Amino acid sequence: MSNPNVKPATGKLGIMVVGLGAVSTTFMTGVMMTRKGLAKPIGSMTQYDKIRVGRGENKKYLHYNEIAPIAKLDDIVFAAWDVYPVNAYESAINAEVLKEKDIEPVKDELMKIKPLKAAFDKNYAKRLDGDNVKQCKDRWDMMEQVREDIRNFKKETGVDRVVVLWAASTEIYVAPDKNVHYTIEQLEAAMKANDVDHIAPSMCYAYAALKEGCPFIMGAPNTTVDIPAMWQLSEETKVPIAGKDFKTGQTLVKSGFAPIIGTRMLGLSGWFSTNILGNRDGLVLDEPANFRTKEVSKLSTLESILVAEEQPDLYTDYFHKVRINYYPPRNDNKEGWDNIDIFGWMGYPMQIKINFLCRDSILAAPLCLDLCLLMDLAHRAGCYGTQRFLSFFLKSPMHDYTKDEVPVNDLFKQYVMLKNFIREAGGYEADQEID
């Protein structure tokens, strides 16, 4: 079967990544090594997962690309922006995520990816000191320069379509403001007035991408596409958006484990999460204003899975705390500890401890691939606005908070949404069975 409303994945797919650090170079290197048959894209749903379509005797289990037209890895062309001028090869070596033997076979390809000058404001990431930065008159000019970069990339490479992915640092927290972020007109006026307190550089990237017809994915917890003005722009340009914050380590565990507590009707007294992290992300998050952005994102997961109003005996007044500690010796190998205090029959207390020693970029790279390929599919399927089916990959799924919409954070419900999008893109019916 196929869905006649979904355009085929013809030509090349450009992926322009904001940030050429540990995550994006691990992502790029892995794609290139996989194309050469020298590595396997483990962790990628689009490359490995199989979904049931049809029922009864028509039942089949198929890979995503056998159901819907997903771009091939051979058709991907990369570009990036970064505040540091080093190319993707040097950056991959500097990141110390991958061993040299896993980078060298694609050295020539990586060296060709030289970062474009970043649209950057040091006040949004005080710990970063790069000089590969655009000189901008104001935020409007910053946005126009990003648009020009996208147009030039299309012209120079001849790619058919482009997706823009934010895989850069966490910016300082920007609270959504009704006078700036709620309409396109307000947003544009603030950019032209150079309102640097309310207009983050990431908003300039997102606005530029949408205006150039490129889906935009927010991989950090920044306030960017989760404002009404961007939702309106996405509708107006008919270009999809998604965000925010890659769900890699601790929150992945939380969104998978909290449903166990909820499904078994066990009570929760408290959930204390702490992380140690040593890469560039950890350095930036050591700044309190930047950590605040991450904290808001990480704290939102539990409260929408274990809800006091639904089960007052079990989930009233539990204590939820999240900590991130910058610890350079670990570099990209972060460690997440979860200490969970639960209670059972007649209120008797029990504890669960989870210690996840994970590799941040190894978990994030397949998410980058899946998000880009699925966003491209969504765009070709005529989807625009917030792509809620991608919440499976995101810590803090976007939702319309102006209408008190509650995001779906339960990993298993998110997976059903993902599968149903793929089914419908392939011309099959949506399906609620967990199978």
Contact between 97 and 278 (Cβ < 8 Å):
no
Is it the case that residue 70 has pLDDT exceeding 90? Answer: yes
pLDDT of residue 298 exceeding 70, the answer is no
What is the pTM (predicted TM-score) of this model? 0.94
Mark whether 270 and 288 lie in a shared domain.
yes
Question: Is there a single domain that holds both residue 61 and residue 133?
Answer: yes
The answer to whether position 111 is within a domain reads yes
Question: Residue 435: which pLDDT band, with cuts at 50, 70 and 90?
Answer: low
> Is pLDDT of 219 > 80?
yes
Q: Which domain holds residue 272?
A: 250-359
Strand pairing class (76-82; 13-18): parallel
- 371 and 270 in one domain? no
Judge if 237 and 202 occupy the same domain.
yes
User: What's the CATH number where 229 sits?
Assistant: 3.40.50.720
Residues 355 and 366 in one domain: no
Report the pLDDT value the prediction gives residue 251, as an integer from 0 to 100: 86
- The answer to whether residue 21 sits within a structural domain is yes
pLDDT band at 283 (very low <50, low <70, confident <90, very high): confident
251-279 pLDDT, tens per residue? Answer: 899 999 999 999 999 999 999 999 998 87
| 296 and 256 part of one domain | yes
- The answer to whether residues 43 and 173 belong to one domain is yes
Q: Is residue 33 part of a domain?
A: yes
Across 289-298, average pLDDT: 76
Domain end call among 323, 343, 359:
359
Q: Is residue 3 part of a domain?
A: no
| Residue 41 binned pLDDT confidence (cut-offs 50, 70, 90) | very high
Contacts of 266 (CB under 8 A, 6+ apart): 314, 342, 343, 344
80 shares a domain with 36 = yes
| 8 occurs within a structural domain | no
| pLDDT tens readout for residues 110-143 | 999 999 999 999 999 998 889 999 999 999 999 9
Q: Are residues 103 and 43 in the same domain?
A: yes
Domain end call among 327, 359, 391: 359
What's the CA gap between 370 and 361, in Å, rounded?
14
Average pLDDT over residues 169-176: 93
Last residue of a domain, one of 359, 377, 405: 359
Whether residues 233 and 330 fall in one domain: no
Number of domains within the chain: 2
Do residues 240 and 376 share a domain? yes
Task: Report residue 331's pLDDT band, with 50, 70 and 90 as the boundaries.
Answer: confident
What pLDDT digit, counting tens, does each position of 401-415 carry? 999 898 899 999 999
CA–CA distance, 316 with 423 (Å, rounded to integer): 38
CATH, residue 279: 3.30.360.10
Distance, CA of 368 to CA of 218 (rounded, Å): 10
> Is 229 part of any domain?
yes
Sort 92 into a burial class: Cβ within 10 Å, 0-12 / 13-18 / 19+: buried
